[in-house]
Amino acid sequence: MVFYLLLFAYYIFIFFGHKTSDNKVLLIVIYLLPLFVLTAFRDISIGPDTSSYYFFFYKINNCNSLADAFNVTGMEPGFVIINFLATRIHLSYYSLQFIFALFIYFSFGKFFLDYSNNIPFSCFFFIANNYFFGIMNVLRMWLAISILLYSVRFIKSRQLIPFLSIVLLAMMFHYSAAFFLLLYPLASVNLTLDRLALVFIVSLVILLFAVPVFTFVTNTLGMYEGYISEERFDVSNNIAIKLSFLVTVCFFVFSTYIKWSLIDRHLTISGNLFVSNISLLDICYAALTVSVCLHIIGLSNNVMGRVINYYDVFLLILIPDLISVINSKKNRILTSFVISSLLFIKFIVVLEFRPEWYQVLPYKFFWS
């Protein structure tokens, strides 16, 4: 655990000690490079799903045709095709792992470059909220999330067909990316307090029936049935889930307060949050609302934590950007300290009490 605490401390230092620079691309490369290296060159023992992807790759390698590859695997078609093509040009599994990591971190780097007002904070948030560990585990989902990041511009400009095309592409790597379709209509809805209350009440109702509904859906679709019988569907000893829920609620309360205070002050700024047909604030706040709802539903099972990632990645942009519009420097520093403390507690609790979620202890390079 000491290794990851030192890594966390490095990003704390970046966050609080960074200096402004005109070369944002260089900053992003420097900040994300350590995470990329650890992801790209990890051993198959890092992350409970990594070994399955390793054996999947060599299973594909033994197939004589793409049709055979589809017949012998249960993975999404896009992931099957990429693996099949890699085997045809004689890439090793670790070469493909490198390529996947490169695409994911390039996508997030571009996401930060395009939308974040505080890139060091976004990078710190990236590791502190366990996205880094998720990438080393649920690879297909994070490939899908990385693809979906490119759809933000089309949500803002209300271009439905390009948005749907990107979601469809993401579904080629993880079918659950279909959940992301909710964001397009929700981003254009004025989320008043009474509407927020309504969606949270509906989420509580769904919570009561989440387990039987999930079981029915997985059995009907014939996908992800394994989650039901695995420990990650069990809600016993779920302190990490409850803490994650509380932290997200804190982010939601903070975001709601800042959002409405800006509206009350009739503030118009030229930053990322308030530009375009549908503002980035609308998109990020809508995504956070869905994330809170999924967290509520997720109190009944551990699986929902994966679907939540499609939406709470917008915290990487929303929280830094909202902090940047706080007038008082003292309040900005205090808010940053409180948020970093919450994330540190969550980071430690997950590593200590739910190490089986990510299985990243101890870290090991593939050549070790």
pLDDT value of position 245: 84
pLDDT value of position 192: 80
Angle at 197 between CA 193 and CA 199, to 5 degrees: 115
pLDDT value of position 148: 97
pTM for the full model? 0.87
CB 60 within 8 A of CB 84: yes
Both tokens assigned to 227: 């989650």
The residues with which 318 forms a beta bridge, in sequence order, are none
* DSSP reduced 3-state for 42: strand
pLDDT value of position 36: 94
Query: Residue-wise pLDDT tens for the chain (368 aa)?
Result: 677 888 888 887 777 666 556 677 888 888 899 999 999 999 999 988 899 999 999 999 888 888 888 887 778 999 999 999 999 999 999 999 999 999 999 999 999 999 988 888 888 889 888 899 989 988 999 999 999 999 999 999 889 999 999 999 999 999 989 999 999 999 888 888 888 888 888 888 877 776 666 666 666 655 555 555 555 455 545 676 777 888 889 999 988 888 877 655 544 433 444 434 568 888 999 999 999 988 888 777 666 666 888 999 999 999 988 888 887 888 888 888 888 888 888 888 877 777 777 788 888 888 87
pLDDT value of position 260: 77
pLDDT value of position 267: 47
Q: What are phi and psi of 188, to 5 degrees?
A: -95, 0
CA atoms within 13 Å, Cβ hemisphere of 368: 12
Q: What is the rounded end-to-end Cα distance, in angstroms, of the chain?
A: 18
238-254 CB burial, b ≥16 within 10 A, e <16: bebbebbbebbeebbeb
Measured from the Cβ of residue 104, the count of other Cβ atoms closer than 10 Å reads 24
Alpha-carbon gap, residue 313 to 142, rounded angstroms: 11
